[in-house]
Amino acid sequence: MKLRVDGLSVGFRLPGAVVHAVTDVRFELLAGRCLALVGESGCGKSVMAHALLGLLPANATVTGHAWLDLRANASGGAAGDSGDGGSLDLVAAPERVLARKVRGRLIGLIPQSPAAHLTPVRTARSQLAETLRELGRTETPDELAERAGLRPRDLDRYPHQLSGGMAQRVANALALAGDPPLILADEPTTGLDRPLVDATMAELRRLCDEGRAVLVITHDLRAAEQVADDIAVMYAGRVVELAEARSFFAGPRHPYAKGLLDALPSRRFVPIPGQPPELTRLPDGCAFQPRCPRATSECAEQPIMSGVACHHA
């Protein structure tokens, strides 16, 4: 299985304005690897993930491609809809294909704040059972729960009776119900204390080591360092640096990426000055230039992305 995102852009039409939430994003994600998409809140990370699943509101315009190569996936039933025998363009796929062949079966979503996404008046067991039934799986809720680190008796609780860690494991179980080759984890550590963050990242790493491709969206760089093979840094809707995790944490090349690491308490603990631009009024050239200590007149032109999008990397 391989995911290849090529020139993906997302805009939201508003009265008198367009929000340029994602602009010309390109990356590849292979089976058995984890890509962490990092950046400040509001930079477009979650929008990009929801675009892959067709979960955007009606005022969204999506262009570009997101090819899901199924030739390495034995259960890749959606390949026939692509016309080439192996790849499905998630952007061009109709809703019926996304709903019946992609969501849950080829791509599992672990949502932000899992407890808020569970039905409050139904037990975890009933929600797992319904998901398995809809996906046509023969596995039982207890078997699925065991894979996600839950005890069978935990399934008889309602969402308000679940701890943060238990709710996270239920969300993991729901994402795994269809045995998808690709997992999207959208801010999976939000609201968790550090031990639960560590446990969640260890679980995602285990899924990756089993052969799944994992895309983690997070603003927690420490969590990203625990799990990622590769790092993609987003700023104002663009990927500005794409690197192997080890080299990124040893020495990022983009000034914004360096600023993110310098802001960590374990490092310099120095915040990046200024504020991100409004996505309805992006500046010409590099969007980071008003905050960048290296900015020159060259930065009035958009830099070409080649591992890093910066004239002064």
The answer on pLDDT for 83 being more than 50 is: no
The pLDDT mean for the chain works out to 91
Q: Strand, helix or coil at 67?
A: strand
- Domains in the chain and their CATH numbers? 2-300 (3.40.50.300)
The predicted model gives 61-70 an average pLDDT of: 94
Q: What confidence category does residue 76 fall into, taking pLDDT thresholds of 50, 70 and 90?
A: very low
Whole-number pLDDT of residue 1: 87
Element (H, E) at 295: none
Reported as a single tens digit per residue, the pLDDT across 117-126 is 899 999 999 9
Judging by beta carbons within 10 Å of its beta carbon (0-12, 13-18, 19+), is residue 29 exposed, middle or buried? buried
Q: What confidence category does residue 152 fall into, taking pLDDT thresholds of 50, 70 and 90?
A: confident
Least confident stretch, 49-53, 83-87, 189-193, 260-264: 83-87
Whole-number pLDDT of residue 71: 75
Query: Which residues lie across from 11 on neighbouring strands?
Result: 20, 61
Element (H, E) at 64: strand 60-69
Query: Which residues lie across from 288 on neighbouring strands?
Result: none
The answer on pLDDT for 10 being more than 90 is: yes
pTM above 0.75, yes or no: yes
Could you say which DSSP state residue 165 is in?
H
Sequence-distant (≥ 6) Cβ neighbours of residue 236 within 8 angstroms: 23, 43, 44, 276, 277, 279, 282, 287, 288
The answer on pLDDT for 167 being more than 60 is: yes
Q: Which residue has tokens 């805009």?
A: 11
What gap in Å lies between CA 217 and CA 239, rounded to an integer?
Answer: 13
What gap in Å lies between CA 116 and CA 132, rounded to an integer?
Answer: 20
Q: Could you tell me which of 206, 202, 223, 119 has the C-alpha nearest to residue 162?
A: 119
Whole-number pLDDT of residue 251: 95
Reported as a single tens digit per residue, the pLDDT across 190-239 is 777 888 888 889 989 999 999 999 999 999 999 999 999 999 999 999 99
What gap in Å lies between CA 216 and CA 46, rounded to an integer?
Answer: 10
What gap in Å lies between CA 48 and CA 25, rounded to an integer?
Answer: 9
Instruction: Name the range with the highest mean pLDDT among 10-24, 138-152, 153-167, 193-207.
Output: 10-24
Q: What confidence category does residue 271 fall into, taking pLDDT thresholds of 50, 70 and 90?
A: very high
DSSP-derived secondary structure for 172-222: HHHHHTT--SEEEEESTTTT--HHHHHHHHHHHHHHHHTT-EEEEEES-HH
